[in-house]
Amino acid sequence: MIKMKTPEEIAKMKAAGDILADCHKEIAKLIAPGVTTWEIDQFVEKFLKERGATPEQKGYSGYEYATCASVNEVVCHGFPKKEPLKNGDIVTIDMVVNLDGWLADSAWSYTVGEVSQKAADLLEVTRQSMYEGIKQAVVGNRIGDISHAIQVFAEERGYSVVRQFIGHGIGKDMHEAPEVPHYGPAGRGPRLKEGMVLTVEPMLNVGGWEAYIEEDGWTAKTVDGSLSAQYEHTIAITKDGPVILTDQGEPR
Ligand code: MF3
Ligand code: CO
């Protein structure tokens, strides 16, 4: 069952999303060679607390941290670590913010110092692919229209789209119906209606799409060791089109 949200509920999720967006903007300033993702995680906890919000991922299915921090070939769900980030790394910070029981979810990939052209291009195409998907999130379209737009955009540019991890509905729960794959045929899946709130969160790899999960039960890595990036927004479907609830006001 897809739980539709009223405009008032969407406003509450937007309030959570605003805090999350502000948090990402602060993270962007902090990321540098020598900084650890452990420190970023600590910063996030403190930042959310100051804003009266809580990190929903902490304690979710036994996950122990406020953020996921996925470096280079880590696709998603990496643990924050006390190991310093190095010049040339890319790192995705993903988090879910809870404000008064309503959630917002957003991941962002960051460059550490000077990165290779290959890494910079991956980030750019991954971010754009997310917006290509979001553009399709209009009343009357289907979930598959979002999925397909992302896959076509990514594959035309030589990247692969991760299959194992997908977007989702979100509200008072982190993972609600419907599922939002980032690949697949257009014109399939549930029809988009006013009041749906979804995440669009493509993970793109430089090499193949296959990922595996490490023995810690969480960390997902590319099978071929190639670089992986991810961008994620929480969006509301409205009669005026998709509204990004975690918008950082970045140019696009
Ligand atoms: N934020 C993730 C998502 O995009 C979920 C992270 S899994 C958790 O769906 F266990 F860390 F919460
Ligand atoms: Co997320």
Percent with pLDDT over 70 in the chain: 99
**pLDDT tens figures, 86-114:** 999 999 999 999 999 999 999 999 999 99
Report residues whose beta carbon is within 6 angstroms of any ligand 1 atom.
57, 60-61, 63, 68, 77, 94, 96, 105, 199, 201, 232
- What confidence score (pLDDT) does residue 251 get? 53
Q: How far is the CA of 152 from the centre of ligand 2 (A)?
A: 22
Q: 3-state DSSP call for residue 126?
A: helix
Residue nearest to atom 1 of ligand 1 (CA): 95
What does the pLDDT average to over 205-220? 98
Taking the C-alpha atoms of residue 3 and residue 13, their distance in angstroms, rounded to an integer, is 14
Give the Cα separation of 130 and 128 in Å (integer).
5
pLDDT of 250 above 90: no
- d(C-alpha 178, C-alpha 205), whole Å: 24
Whether a cis peptide bond, with omega within 30° of 0, leads into 178 is: yes
Question: Over the chain, what is the mean pLDDT?
Answer: 98
Atom of ligand 1 nearest to the CA of 94: 1
> Is 7-244 a domain of CATH 3.90.230.10?
yes
| pLDDT computed for residue 152 by the predictor | 98
Q: Ligand 1 atom 11: the closest Cα is on which residue? A: 57
Mean pLDDT calculated for residue range 108-132: 98
pLDDT at 252 over 50: no
CA of 95 to the centre of ligand 1 (A): 7
Ligand 1 atom 8 nearest Cα = 57
Tokens 């692969």 correspond to what residue?
160
In 3D space, the residue among 235, 232, 240 whose CA is nearest the CA of residue 24 turns out to be 232
Chain-centroid distance, C-alpha 251: 18
- Find the mean pLDDT for residues 188-197: 98
**Is 238 buried (19+), middle (13-18) or exposed (0-12) by CB count in 10 A?**
middle
Quote the ligand 2 centre to 18 CA distance (angstroms).
15
SS3 at position 224: coil
For residues 7 and 22, what is the distance between their CA atoms, to the nearest angstrom?
A: 22
**Mean of pLDDT values over 192-211:** 98
Closest atom, ligand 1, to C-alpha of 68: 11
Indicate the domain borders of the chain. Answer: 7-244
Determine which helix (DSSP H) or strand (DSSP E) holds 70, and give its type and residue range: strand 67-71
Alpha-carbon distance 32 to 26, whole Å? 12
Q: What 8-state DSSP symbol labels residue 223?
A: T
Q: pLDDT tens for residues 53-77?
A: 999 999 999 999 999 999 999 999 9
Q: What is the CA radius of gyration of the chain?
A: 17
Q: How far apart are CA 103 and CA 56, in angstroms?
A: 8
